[in-house]
Amino acid sequence: MTSKFKDHVAAERRLAILQTLAESVGYQANEYTLEALLEDLALGVSNARLRADLAHLAELGLLETNGVGGVTIAHLTRAGLDAAAGKSQVPGVARPRPE
Kindly state whether residue 35 falls inside one of the protein's structural domains: yes
Q: Give residue 6's pLDDT.
A: 94
Kindly state whether residue 97 falls inside one of the protein's structural domains: no
Q: Give residue 59's pLDDT.
A: 98
Q: Give residue 98's pLDDT.
A: 82
Q: Give residue 2's pLDDT.
A: 84
Give yes or no for residue 1 having a pLDDT over 90: no
Domain of 54: which CATH number? 1.10.10.10
Beta bridge pairs of residue 51: none
β-pairing, 71-76 vs 28-30, is: antiparallel
Kindly state whether residue 70 falls inside one of the protein's structural domains: yes
The backbone torsions φ and ψ at residue 3, rounded to the nearest 5 degrees and listed phi first, read -60, -40
Beta bridge pairs of residue 73: 30, 66
Q: What is the pTM of this model?
A: 0.94
- 33-88: pLDDT as tens digits: 999 999 999 999 999 999 999 999 999 999 999 999 999 999 999 999 999 999 99
